[in-house]
Structure 1
């Protein structure tokens, strides 16, 4: 049994396909298949159920692959321990970020990281929360910036900041004349939502649960549309197709300065409004956290990343220590 063989079975379990697993491991498919067959013969167990269209892990195989992932991680830790003896921050840090945070935090974060820890480049991965959790579990990434809540997977977490939501409405909409808007006032509007898989979609539906019904004749709702990204939805708002909720960091600076002089022919087509709570409570927010495996040994790297995030300009959010 070798670490290479363990790497191969973990890759097949992740990809559910021998060809894609071979590509991910940078070997030919016959090489990978022969190695896995050899391991199955050595263990005298069947790890995978093979069919024409897919590969499934057997029940016993799942337990073996979980152990293989742990062994690979521990082997990688040996190298990390050696690196830490020379420089605790040496080597890249694999960071995952959800789609509704990445475009607004990463530009500033990358600059801070380059300035503070040039020996620790950030290898970035944008994805959905559920995918980032899986990548954390398998060791494909070291840590991730996500919004709570997410399933308890035994990860270590550190709070970063609380970020309020704002309503985005067309500049010629009747709501645009207000200084702030209540969630109740949004119920009669056409709501634009992110598609399934985005945790921010769930956050919006917590604020306005009525929109979860997606019915054109539901009481208090006209209809709802879906977009693939926050920026796409903002363009839909600008075009007058409806309203939406956005996180505070996604709001352009110039959009908040309504008194600023604009260049000739320059117009703002979207108005961003603070949201008030109908029952007199706190306005809706999301908590953004940094999560990592408890077995991850580069503690100094996590601390350096948190410091770089805190050094970023984060207008309108409440930083958490």
Structure 2
């Protein structure tokens, strides 16, 4: 039994297809199939039921796959221990980032990080929170940047910054003359939202639900981008809320439509999250140091009230 064989078993278990598993493992399909077969022969059991499409995992195979995950992770930890002992910060590191953070945060920290840690091959993936959580659990990414708290048992959360919500209120809106906003000013039927699946949307809904003020519902518009929401607001379709960092990219005319909240301002907590196994923790710590240092200078707000992305009160 070898680590490589176990890695091949995990690939087949994930993709339920020998050809695809071989492609993802960067080996030929006959090579992968032969190694999996050798392991089955050695153990004298069938790990996979090849007669089904997609390939099924046998009952004993499920137990083997679960143990294989632990063994492969511990094998990777050995190299990790050596890297930490040598003070080496390098190698592949897969970082997931939620879509409402990616466009603003990535350009801020990436040039600095790459320059400071040139031996790290940083692989960035934009993914929704549910996908990030699943990929952290399965070991497909090393860390992620997401809105927290998530309060998931196998995940550790390290807050990076607290980003206030800012209202975008066009001149013809009922709140246009307000100097500052409060949660009681908002109505869920009056706020343009991101599409379902965005945690920022959930935070806005949670904030709006704290208000008992209601107006008639004439329409409901959801979009996948803040830019579209701003444009719709300018067309008289309502108002919207933006994360603070997104407001920095607006032109002077649009910035004139921004309205901040009274203190404590509603805000979202953005954290670096990773598996409790803490593999590649030295790179995770390096990321946290760089990002926290850069964002600290961009967000001057201190008095904030954290709005959970999970519709918690």
TM-score, normalised by the number of residues in structure 1: 0.79
C-alpha offsets along residues 130-152 of structure 1, whole Å, 9 cap, x if unaligned? 21122222222222111113251
**How far is 1:239 from its partner?**
3.7
What corresponds to 1:215 in structure 2? none
- Is 1:306 paired with 2:288? yes
Following superposition, the deviation at residue 85 of structure 1 comes to 4.0
Q: Is the 8 A contact 1:194 1:226 kept in 2?
A: yes
Higher mean C-alpha displacement, 230-239 vs 303-312 = 230-239
* Deviating more after overlay: 27-36 vs 199-208: 27-36
CA distance in 2, matches of 1:170, 1:301: 43
1:221 aligns with 2:203: no
Match of 1:237 among 213, 220, 233: 233
Q: 2: distance between equivalents of 1:53 and 1:220?
A: 51
Aligned residues: 300
Residue 107 of structure 1, CA deviation: 0.8
The residue number in structure 1 matching 2:164 is 164
Q: CA RMSD in A?
A: 3.2
Which residue number corresponds to residue 83 of structure 2? 83
Matches within 5 A, 1:99-138: 99-138=99-138
| Residues 47-56 or 185-194, more deviating | 47-56
Who is 1:26 aligned against? 26
Q: Which residue of 2 aligns with 1:315?
A: 299
**Compared CA separation, residues 206 and 35, structure 1 to 2 (3 A):** same
CA 9–273 in structure 1, closer or farther in 2 if over 3 Å, else same = farther
- Normalised TM-score (structure 2): 0.81
Q: Within the alignment, does 1:3 sit opposite 2:12 as a pair?
A: no
What corresponds to 1:291 in structure 2? Answer: 273
Paired residue for 2:259, among 270, 273, 276?
273
Deviation at 1:42?
3.5
CA contact (8 A) 1:179 1:273 kept: yes
Deviation at 1:189, TM superposition (A): 4.5
> Does the 8 Å CA contact 2:148/2:269 hold for their aligned counterparts?
yes
| Most deviating of 43-52 and 187-196 | 43-52
Tell me if structure 2 keeps the 8 A contact 1:163–1:318. Answer: no
Partner of 2:310: none
Counterpart of 1:170 in 2: which secondary structure?
coil
Quote the residue 1:153 is aligned against: 153
The 1:306–1:47 alpha-carbon spacing in structure 2 relative to 1, beyond 3 Å, is same
Q: Is the 8 A contact 1:188 1:220 kept in 2?
A: no
The residue number in structure 1 matching 2:307 is none
Q: CA contact under 8 A between 1:92 and 1:123: conserved in structure 2? A: yes
- Equivalent residues of 1:92, 1:121 under 8 A apart: yes
Displacement of 1:121 after TM fit? 4.0
Q: Are 1:146 and 1:289, in contact at CA under 8 Å, matched by a contact in 2?
A: yes
Greater CA drift, 169-178 or 125-134: 169-178
Equivalent position SS for 2:112 = helix
Tell whether the 8 Å contact from 2:8 to 2:36 is kept in structure 1 after alignment: yes
How big is the shift at 1:308?
A: 0.3
Q: Deviations 1:254-299 (Å, cap 9, x if unpaired)?
A: 55xxxxxx6xxxx4388222234xxxx8332211111222322444
Tell me, which stretches of 5 or more residues in structure 2 are unaligned?
Answer: 305-313
Q: In the alignment, which residue of structure 1 is the partner of 2:66?
A: 66
Provide closer, same or farther for how the CA distance between residues 272 and 32 of structure 1 changes in structure 2, counting only shifts above 3 A. farther
Alignment of 1:187-266 (within 5 A): 187=187, 189-209=189-209, 220-252=216-248
Contact 1:22 1:32 in 2 (8 A): yes
Aligned pair in 2 of structure 1 residues 229, 253: CA closer, same or farther (>3 Å)?
A: closer
CA distance in 2, matches of 1:53, 1:231: 44
